[in-house]
Chains A and B, each alone.
Chain A
């Protein structure tokens, strides 16, 4: 176990190097020169060369990369090419916060609703309700977000005028009753993105919970529990339920790994100032340092969360032996 952790940690810098270099090279290899964008009207060779040097865009790719890493490890992620005078960090951090809030809420609801759905489906296995729940959830997960958002906006915002078309205004609104009592309510801008971000997620969670619950229900210890004369509800709650939730750890870990990356389509279509919509603006305007920083932060978080998930799983389920190798 310790050896495995050390090995995984030892690979970490290497993985990060490959990820960052790959992104760096691709970003530099792409069309559109940020220098000419920065220079604007000026076409003077000397000025261009000076901007190039200032931005650290002179020399070979390897030199540029080393210089960039040198600054990045000190927390200096560079300056935005497009939004002049802003450091990448001050641009990215608030947007990541918005995305993170939205993502955490979405993940919470995906599991809070998806897990019971899966358990209900498993409970009604063999009856019509089981395939019905699963197919209905699968249907919702198959419709692309791109297709579903405009009709929802039209229906809820234009036709019935119960929700705003898009935008972002924090998590909580305060409603004043008679100007005296303050009641915190969820901000109305939240409903539409949450709806679109959670519903497609139910199917995956519910299916996983259902299949594990069915597997667990056919285990010997469940039969033993029944043979002891325990009530069916006790068997379900005490023996089947806890064991069916075990594989969820991996799934929850993996979805937590994505917290910092935005919901690209939802944010873009609904005009939410999160990291997803910002990434797209940056890719479109070739704001290299923003793209690089975003990619790296997301990748770093993903790798670390992956590691934590693996370790947590091994800790909880003693049957999992990490790094066990069969010699061929």
Chain B
């Protein structure tokens, strides 16, 4: 399994020679219909999240008790919830929450910590490798969800205190609560999400470091950081692309699960987890199915899109 593009494969022969690896990757991915549909789904949901303040017809906490539990209508596209809040607007803002948390965890937990430690552990070996892998083993031995809940419950109030203290007197003070609840979830998830990435990268680096070009770079006097950055990282770049899709989906699922149990993103900040919780229950579903179906279908579409996209990227990378 090579992650570099091999010109020997028949698919590559039809490609224009001048194209860089990124262009070739994109060229192959574009021919997979499911991957493209998934990308569109992800773009629509994330785009809705980004543009929520502009697109949403109402704010996420605008209550109208006389209009509670309305089914779908032209006025409220996705109906209204128990407090008469517009479900369409809440869906957009929930997508925003999911987007913020998952991108934050992706960048810090998976990309920076995971890749960094994975590269270092794989390349340096010895005690560095041992230390990183043992810490990872400890973290993966802990039962995930209860630990996340504990960490979140323990961190939550302290992060809120800190953020409120840090923002006292500044114009940001009003958003302290929102920010704190993002931060808590983000920190707790980052703590656990780097392990998988680090393991994957490490195993790849273990194979790569024995290759001639690395030996050559070392023989020419390249420093560790130079070899990691210039020689190893480009060769695992495609694995990184694969992780992006996996991590974004995984974090979205975890954030929703945490919020469902009431320790994730705190109200009034909207989240799919809270929306799904409000719609749960067999009787509830019977009388007001839209309460569950609107957030449920959105989340399922997003998660399924990530799975399909990851699958397609995997196919492209492994050239199957």
Contact = CB atoms under 8 A, between A and B. Distances in A.
Given A15-B134, A265-B257, A147 B146 contact: no
Interface string A1-41: 00000000001001100110011001101110000000000
Interface stretch (A46-54, A57-65, A104-112, A148-156): A148-156
Interface stretch (B83-91, B151-159, B173-181, B239-247): B151-159
Contact of B292 (A135, A151, A214, A326): A151
B143 A298 contact: yes
A295 interface: yes
Interface in A112-167: 134-135, 138-139, 141-144, 146-147, 149-151, 153-154, 157-159, 165
Contacts, number: 138
Nearest to A207: B311
B296 interface: yes
User: Range of interface residues on chain A?
Assistant: 35 or more
B143 to A, nearest CB: 5
Contacts of A146: 256-257, 260, 273, 276, 280, 296
Interface residues of B, number: 55
Interface of B, secondary structure class, is: helix
Interface in B269-287: 273, 276, 279-286
B276 A15 contact: no
B303 A143 contact: yes
A52 B221 CA distance: 62
A22 B137 CA distance: 13
Interface string A260-284: 0100110001000000000110011
A43 interface: no
Q: Classify the secondary structure of A's interface with B.
A: helix
A69 B126 CA distance: 31
B262 to A, nearest CB: 8
B307 interface: yes
B282 A138 contact: no
A299 interface: yes
Contacts of B125: 325-328
Interface of B: 34, 123-126, 134, 137-138, 141-143, 145-147, 149-151, 153-154, 156-157, 206, 209-210, 253, 256-257, 260-263, 273, 276, 279-286, 289, 292, 295-297, 299-300, 303-304, 306-308, 311, 320
Given A154-B283, A265-B260, A269-B280, 19 more contacts: A15-B137, A15-B141, A22-B142, A30-B153, A138-B304, A142-B306, A144-B303, A147-B295, A147-B299, A147-B300, A150-B281, A153-B282, A261-B143, A265-B257, A283-B150, A284-B262, A295-B143, A295-B147, A303-B141
